[in-house]
Structure 1
Amino acid sequence: MSLSPSAFALLGLVAWSVLLILLLVNQRGLLVMSGRMKVNAFAADGSNTPGAFGQRLVRAHANCVENVPLFAAVLLYAMATGQTLLTDPLAPILLAARIAQSAVHLISTSALAVWIRFAAFFVQLLILIWWLLRLASLV
């Protein structure tokens, strides 16, 4: 049985979020095991995590936690109501844009990187709005 593009994107969004969690757990685990930080010393926003990458990783993970539920809810709704014909064409683009946004966030916070990250987020937002309008039969 093959997955529809919507189902693949849904699983991909979850898998990407899990990968970011695993990276975060690994990074924090290494800091604790090496004695560089106490296990209860991590700020939720990553502000006291040594190194810029660690702080970007915390923020990239938080961004997924903040936004992926919105995409997942719409994809699940489309799947539950048999309307994946509306979401299937853009689902792979949504997943690619989510991964790109996070990856760029992990790589750099330069002005160009922030613009690229914003563009990837904006693509996701436009897709979400389009799906909502189509699923509500407003367009």
Structure 2
Amino acid sequence: MSTSALVLTLFIAWALYLLVLMEAIRSYLVVSGRARSNEFKPDNANLSPFLQRLARAHANCIESLPVMGGLLLVAIATSRTEVTDTLAPWLLIARIAQSMTHLASLSVIAVNTRFAFFAVQLAIAVYWTWALLAR
């Protein structure tokens, strides 16, 4: 498996982990009688601040997957993973760091840090797009 394929799989696994965590907590809330199963809002607006951040962190992953994952898939499908393999682990690290920062806090410093991790991902995606189109 190429580095790009591994990173794409791990990116999907990270999004899945966030979803499973959210659903496990929601299930606990229902089983413990703290919430009714029909009370959940998609953004967890009626739940704790952590669960609201978790919903948004998961949504961020899903929102960026078509772009980041799509570029990785193009590289894999066209046998051009030499374009993406080197930076793919950094993309994944930046994605997980962005999510973890989002889960930790909404303070100004956390939001700025989260944006910096997103900017790294964006720069990588722009570079990959250029490199895949240029050759």
TM over 0.5: yes
Counterpart residue identity of residue 38, structure 1: R
The structure 1 segments of at least 4 consecutive aligned residues displaced by more than 2 Å after TM superposition are: none
TM-score by length of 2: 0.96
Equivalent residue number for residue 79 of structure 2? 82
Output the amino acid matched with 1:69.
P
Distance in 2 between residues matched to 1:120 and 1:68, nearest whole Å? 15
Q: Which amino acid aligns with 1:81?
A: T
Counting aligned pairs with the same residue, the percent is: 48
TM-superposed deviation, 1:69: 2.0
The two structures, once aligned, show a CA RMSD in angstroms of 1.0
Of 83, 92, 95 in structure 2, the residue corresponding to residue 95 of structure 1 is 92
Partners of 2:6 and 2:106 in 1: CA distance: 30
Name 2:19's counterpart in structure 1.
21
**Counterparts of 2:12 and 2:107, CA distance in 1:** 27
Q: Any residues of structure 2 matched to 1:55-134 within 5 Å, and which?
A: 55-134=52-131
Task: Tell me the amino acid that sits aligned with residue 27 of structure 1.
Answer: I
Deviation at 1:4, TM superposition (A): 1.8
SS of equivalent residue, structure 2 residue 37: coil
- TM-score computed with the length of structure 1 as normaliser: 0.94
